[in-house]
A and B are shown apart, each in its own frame.
Chain A
Amino acid sequence: EADIYQTPRYLVIGTGKKITLECSQTMGHDKMYWYQQDPGMELHLIHYSYGVNSTEKGDLSSESTVSRIRTEHFPLTLESARPSHTSQYLCASSVWGNYGYTFGSGTRLTVV
């Protein structure tokens, strides 16, 4: 039973399109994260949030933006998709302190 939900699971979209990847969690976690990952490879942090109205850029430069208007919701938006954005995007959340992350199932994005 997933406590963190990502939609869509798969997305194929044309170059130049605007897309929003959805992430919602029902655990009341304050901290949320977006990672970009090629299958089975290194996790790259692209955005994170510590709570409502808090957003920060991660280690990997990204052309995406995020928002955190509600605790449970942390969508990621690409204003103009490019083939280089083809990847898997993973959303995760955690409580404050040194505790494990809960990851969503991911969105596999293909830009053609």
Chain B
Amino acid sequence: GQQVMQIPQYQHVQEGEDFTTYCNSSTTLSNIQWYKQRPGGHPVFLIQLVKSGEVKKQKRLTFQFGEAKKNSSLHITATQTTDVGTYFCAGPDYGGSQGNLIFGKGTKLSVKP
């Protein structure tokens, strides 16, 4: 069945280092979304990418959608302790569930001050 895979599962960085998480889909996606979940919190929608090759920035966060619309990345420049959390990507489910999202398993980021 359709899958959305994320790597790495865990990432430990020193504050100030950059961080990247990658998302790969088994099928071409019409869009991809990214969410952040702080420890003890709930997922919060960050952004949606729709166009092939699209790049969007939110302050230190850069989101990219691949040309084939099957992969995406989230890059954080100069991480801060406030970036700690789990980052999930999600794409539409083209199976029987009428467009529910399929979430990746997430990348858990820890930042050492």
Q: Which residues of A does B touch, CB under 8 Å?
A: 33, 39-43, 45, 48, 50, 56, 90, 92, 96-106
Interface pair B100/A40, CB less than 8 Å apart: no
Given A40-B106, A43-B103, residue A103 in contact with residue B97 (CB < 8 A): no
Which size class do B's interface residues fall under?
20 to 34
Interface pair B108/A40, CB less than 8 Å apart: yes
Chain B residues contacting A90 (CB-CB under 8 Å) are: 42-43
Interface pair B43/A39, CB less than 8 Å apart: no
Chain B residues contacting A98 (CB-CB under 8 Å) are: 30-31, 48, 50, 92, 99
A90 and B85 CA atoms in complex are apart in Å by: 17
A92 and B33 CA atoms in complex are apart in Å by: 15
Residue B48 contacts which of A39, A41, A50, A99 (CB distance < 8 angstroms)?
Answer: A99
Question: Which chain B residue lies CB-closest to A42?
Answer: B105
A57 and B1 CA atoms in complex are apart in Å by: 17
Question: Which chain A residue lies CB-closest to B95?
Answer: A59
A100 and B90 CA atoms in complex are apart in Å by: 9
Q: Which residues of B does A touch, CB under 8 Å?
A: 30-31, 33, 35, 37, 39-45, 48, 50, 85-86, 88, 90, 92, 97-101, 103, 105-106, 108
From residue B35, how far is it (CB to closest CB) to chain A in Å? 8
Question: Which chain A residue lies CB-closest to B33?
Answer: A100
Interface pair A43/B88, CB less than 8 Å apart: yes
Subset of 18 A-B contacts with CB under 8 Å:
A33-B100, A39-B40, A40-B39, A40-B85, A40-B86, A42-B103, A42-B106, A48-B100, A56-B97, A90-B43, A98-B30, A98-B31, A98-B92, A100-B35, A100-B45, A101-B90, A103-B42, A103-B43
A103 and B97 CA atoms in complex are apart in Å by: 19
A86 and B61 CA atoms in complex are apart in Å by: 34
